[in-house]
Amino acid sequence: MATAIAPRTATDELLSYMDTPDPFRNAPDNLAELQLEAVRERFADMVKRVPVLARRAKEVGITEIDTLDDLVPLLFAHTNYKSYPEAFIDNGQWKHMNMWLQTMSSVSTANIDVEGCTDVDDWIDRAKAAGHFVFSSSGTSGKNSFLNEGAEERERAKNAYLHGFNIATPNHKPARDRHVFSVMAPKGVHKLTHACNYLYDSWAKPDGGLHRLIEAPMLAMDTMRPHQLRRLLGAGKIGPSEVEAHEREIAEKSKANALRFDNWIEEIVAHRHEPIYVACMWAQAWMIVERLRERGIKDGDFHPDTILSLGGGTKGAKIPADYREQIMAFFGVDESRLSNSYGMVEISGFNALIQPHGVYASPPWLVPLVLDKSGERLLNPKDGRGTVEGRMAFFDLNAEYRWGGIISGDKVTVEFGSGLDGVKTPIVKSIARYADLEEGEGKLTCAGTIDGYVRGSVAA
């Protein structure tokens, strides 16, 4: 008897575009219909497996998704993924961290062995050994977010990230023929470490073409420890000597990092007349420019095939208003050799830069949702065409170990149905952080509600 083959779902079809080099122009003509059906599929599955989602859906009376408006009260805020009590980490209560992670996950975390666990990075390693690829992001609060990811969704997203990077340089494709200079650690808690290893390998010359500024793993505790020490000191649980010891350790690391940075800069100088690929954040790129200028390197004194892969914000960095123009002029790079993207750690892949238009296209497996500032009302045009401004949210159809709906802290302008340069997906035309704007961040109605559900679940 022949084995029955499961019918292809809308989710399956949209996820298949993660293997397409240009999913933005090759998206299906019935994208909006497929996305709505896929969201329905994900909700029907996840509401049975994520207790916090089930409780929220019951409270607001949603049993199925009829329109995208039904998603809005079910979205999680990006801050919900740091809703664990900090005492769990301070006191080494790793079973409690397992329970907290369970509240935000669609799979059981009971298989994470925490016997003898030493710190949060050890906990993350234990989770990985159990099949949970927990990744982390940090913020100015010093409290990291932790999100659960499965091996299959992680592997699917790898190509999506690569295509998102490379579509921004349509005239230059990876051929393992250049020197790559990266500030990304080879492994660690950041979600992009996995994808970037493949990206750099596709561009870098074999045997010595990859030049990393950092060789040590990126650890969650590196960003969390200073805030933890201040908290413990204030509670009288440690003395000033422990804080001073940590500060001495940081000072020693800073000296070593400064020396490493100088050596890395010298490698850029040595290879600048060969094709190079520089991958870092905008603020870091400005530091590189300053150091190279100190060494007498002039604007444009680089190989004409130099590529820059830059991104991220510049909050807190002391850089000039025209830093972008200066950086590009210094490396002699035009828009066709600038790889950039718009994204966040909570989603799979990027909204890719579409050259030469300076806009970011959303991939088929990410459903863009533009909300009012409070996150309570969907502003997407009902007929699928038009431009709206508001708070960015997404539904990530690739997410399997957690609920895919996420609200960001970004204020954006998104155009639906533009057809710009053959792009079939919505495009993001402007991006700013609410926290950086005069109007401020404001409060998300959903954030406190979901946090309350999490506290209740952990207590139970």
The average pLDDT across 94-108 equals 94
- Full DSSP string of 437-456: STT-----HHHHHHHHHHHH
* Verdict on whether the full-model pTM lies above 0.85: yes
Model confidence at 72, in pLDDT bands (50, 70, 90)?
Answer: very high
Please state, as a whole number, how many other Cβ atoms lie within 10 Å of the Cβ of residue 108: 12
Residue 237 has pLDDT above 90, yes or no: no
Q: What is the pLDDT of residue 236?
A: 80
Check whether 252 has a pLDDT greater than 50. Answer: yes
Share of the chain above pLDDT 70, in %: 93
Mean pLDDT of 83-101: 93
> 89 pLDDT exceeds 60?
yes
**Which residue is listed with tokens 């830093």?**
323
Residues 404-438 have pLDDT tens digits of 999 998 999 999 999 999 999 999 999 988 877 87
Residue 413: beta bridge partners? Answer: 389, 430
Q: Which residues pair with 351 in a beta bridge?
A: 342
- Reported as a pLDDT band with limits 50, 70 and 90, residue 1 is very low
DSSP 5: P
Tens of pLDDT, residue by residue over 15-63, are 999 999 899 999 999 999 999 999 999 999 999 999 899 999 999 999 9
pLDDT one-digit tens code per residue, 347-392: 999 899 998 898 999 999 999 999 999 899 999 999 999 999 999 9
Per-residue pLDDT, averaged over 300-308, amounts to: 96
Residue type for position 27: A
Min mean pLDDT across 43-47, 115-119, 343-347 is at: 343-347
Answer yes or no: are the C-beta atoms of 180 and 209 closer than 8 Å. Answer: yes
* Residue 458: per-residue pLDDT: 60
What's the CA gap between 277 and 338, in Å, rounded? 10
Dihedral, CA of residue 73, residue 57, residue 14 and residue 422, to nearest 10: -20
The C-alpha atoms of residue 343 and residue 332 are separated, in whole angstroms, by 26
Q: Which of 298, 288, 275 is nearest to 180 (CA)?
A: 275
Q: Tell me, rounded to whole angstroms, the distance of Cα 373 from its chain centroid.
A: 21
Residue 231: is its pLDDT beyond 90? no
Give the per-residue SS3 of 88-153: HHHCCCHHHHHHHHHHCCCCCCCCCCCCCCCCHHHHHHHHHHCCCCCEEECCCCCCCEEECCCHHH
CA-CA-CA-CA torsion sign (453, 454, 457, 458): negative
Residue of 116, 79, 78, 72 lying closest to 94 (CA atoms)? 116
SS3 232: helix
Give the chain's length.
460
| Averaged pLDDT for residues 248-270 | 92
Mean pLDDT, the chain, as a whole number? 90
HSE at residue 53, side-chain half, CA atoms within 13 A, is 26
DSSP 29: T
- Residue 430: CB atoms within 10 A of its CB come to 13
DSSP letters for 150-173:
-HHHHHHHHHHHHHHHHTT-TT--
Whether 176 has a pLDDT exceeding 90, the answer reads: yes
Q: What is the pLDDT of residue 151?
A: 94
Q: What is the pLDDT of residue 232?
A: 81
Question: Which position has the higher pLDDT, 246 or 296?
Answer: 296
11 within 8 A of 42, measured Cβ to Cβ: yes
The DSSP symbol for 317 reads -
